[in-house]
Amino acid sequence: MRNLETLSIVVVLVLLLGSNFGGAVAKPKSASDFVKKTVSSHTIAIFSKSYCPYCRRAKAVFKELNQEPFVVELDERDDGRDIQDALIELVGRRTVPQVFINGKHLGGSDDTVDAYENGELAKLLGIESEGDEEL
């Protein structure tokens, strides 16, 4: 009888905690929804990690343009890994940074710097820029 009580407690805990003991549990769509909402709600959205030199480089581009991006530092969030997984589903890349302008995916650090240097980024943002400086 005692084993049955113990088993019942374990089952209840598993159900309450949503734990998965060997079985695959689908991740909630909340991370994907968060990414989509963030991208659609901000002119400039960057998914970043605070310690990443490529992320710093991409963020520096917007500082140079006097633009304030909305930055999601994945390493500073409990759900950062889930958000990063959602990025691969949405844009095919899990690496950071991932930069979005006006709801559209621009790309990573190199893509952002290239767009800055060739004037495409300023055009996307509707601003004037020289884009001549090396970052």
Residues 67 and 73: their CA atoms lie apart, in Å, by 18
Contact criterion met (CB below 8 Å) for 120 and 81: no
* CATH, range 27-125: 3.40.30.10
| Per-residue pLDDT at 128 | 76
The full 3-state SS of 74-103, as one line of letters, equals HHHCCCHHHHHHHHHHHHCCCCCCEEEECC
pTM to 2 decimals?
0.75
Where do the structural domains in the chain lie, given as residue ranges?
27-125
**pLDDT tens readout for residues 104-118:** 999 999 999 999 999
Length of the chain: 135
**pLDDT tens readout for residues 63-103:** 999 999 999 999 999 999 999 999 999 999 989 999 999 99
**pLDDT tens readout for residues 29-75:** 689 999 999 999 999 999 999 999 999 999 999 999 999 999 999 99
Contact criterion met (CB below 8 Å) for 95 and 112: no
